[in-house]
Amino acid sequence: MKFEYNKPLAKYTTFRVGGNSDIFVTIEKKEDFYNPIFSEILKNSENIFILGGGSNTVFSDNGFRGTVIYMNNRNIEKVSENSEKCIIKCESGAQIMPIFMFAKKNSADFSPFSTIPGTIGGALAGNAGVPKMEISDIFIEAELFDIEKQEFITVDTTFFNFVYRHSDLQSDNKKNKYIIWSVTLQLQKRDIAEIESETKEYLEMRKQKQPFGKTGGSFFKNPQQGAAGMFLDKAEFKNYKHGGAFFSEKHANFLMSDGTATQKDIIELQKIAQTKIFEQFGVTLEREVRVLDEFGKLTQ
Ligand SMILES: Cc1cc2nc3c(=O)[nH]c(=O)nc-3n(C[C@H](O)[C@H](O)[C@H](O)COP(=O)(O)OP(=O)(O)OC[C@H]3O[C@@H](n4cnc5c(N)ncnc54)[C@H](O)[C@@H]3O)c2cc1C
């Protein structure tokens, strides 16, 4: 485990935006949770932020006044298998792509998720998914560190109350009270050639429809009335620029940085879009990307 101070956060996020964190702790082993300095930090758990791959997070330009806990636990193992299913256990800092590769080697299908950036911990916390499937669909159980009790617990799906791109772990009553240590998933067995060909399709679809660059993916959740990107496109937000932030030409719901964007640019552009979409269509766009103030609270 490693303790660092005044640590720049931008490079830990896919947006590449944000100032420095007062304290930055890298976690690699279960024993790290019982380190006396770390235990002291956890006593002030309202001042922590748990970071996975940073692909759904925008830190404040002023950084973070507290401790960022960076999950760098990446082990993946097979728990059991039969001719139909394979059960794997992934530590929360494991990235999606290595999990996909591990599964494929075992003829187990994780292809729907293969193109989502970030870690399995982040994916579980936010119930990441693609149109036809969410992580909650293949989830069995997770090991969490219970910060108050200072012990590891095992929980199943009822703990999380998964809904579209959200779990209870992000609600006020559970946020910052638990840290995901590992996630157990049940995958369907499938022919490796089929897995490869489906993954190729997912990749092609991404390449065709989504831009590559500094972004957090879909910026707004899809409202009930339709796709957020469709409303943004109709309101001519494609390529709309504000400071260093802009909506992609390729996909209107991809808010990007040109490399110079500040969080301020991103929030201002978000508000311009929300106001216009509401005025034009009566539709409220809710953010999917988590934009944080310097105390870790979600900004408006
Ligand atoms: C190009 C691009 C495409 C994307 N496409 C998709 C897509 O198709 N579908 C989709 O759902 N998302 C998509 N995303 C968004 C993002 O990749 C997902 O939300 C991803 O699951 C976030 O994982 P992360 O590890 O990066 O999370 P982070 O951004 O690091 O964290 C996200 C949240 O999870 C919490 N968290 C992370 N790890 C833990 C842990 N161990 N314990 C407790 N809480 C934790 C954090 O505190 C934070 O609240 C895309 C993003 C990009 C940049």
Whose tokens are 């766009």? That residue is: 285
Distance CA 29, CA 128 (A): 25
Q: Is 294 a catalytic residue?
A: no
Supply the pLDDT for residue 45.
77
Q: How far apart are CA 24 and CA 51, in angstroms?
A: 10
CA of residue 56 to ligand 1 center, whole Å = 4
- pLDDT the model gives residue 196: 95
How far away, in angstroms, is 10 Cα from ligand 1 center?
15
Token pair belonging to 30: 């279960």
The pLDDT value recorded for residue 132 is 86
Class of domain 76-195: alpha beta
65 has catalytic annotation: no
Is 290 among the catalytic positions? no
C-alpha 221 to ligand 1 mean position (Å): 14
Local confidence pLDDT in tens for the 300 residues of the chain: 999 999 999 999 999 999 999 999 999 999 999 999 999 999 987 899 999 999 999 999 999 999 999 999 999 999 999 999 999 999 999 999 999 999 999 999 999 999 999 999 999 999 999 988 999 999 999 999 999 999 999 999 999 999 999 999 999 889 899 999 999 999 999 999 999 999 999 999 999 999 999 999 999 999 999 999 999 999 999 999 999 999 999 999 999 999 999 999 999 999 999 999 999 999 999 999 999 999 999 999
pLDDT at 165: 92
* Pocket lining: 255 vs ligand 1, CB cutoff 6 Å: no
Cα–Cα distance, 214 to 220 (Å, whole number): 16
Model ipTM? 0.99
pLDDT at 194: 95
Quick one: CA torsion of 227, 252, 95, 292, rounded to 10 degrees? Answer: -90
The protein residue whose alpha carbon is closest to atom 17 in ligand 1 is 117
CATH topology of domain 211-291: 3.90.78
- pLDDT for the residue 54: 98
Give residue 183's pLDDT.
98
Q: Domain residues of the chain, as ranges?
A: 2-71, 76-195, 211-291
Domain over 2-71 is classified CATH 3.30.43.10: yes
The ligand 1 atom at the shortest distance from the C-alpha of residue 134 is 11
Active-site entry in 141, 165, 198, 206 = 165
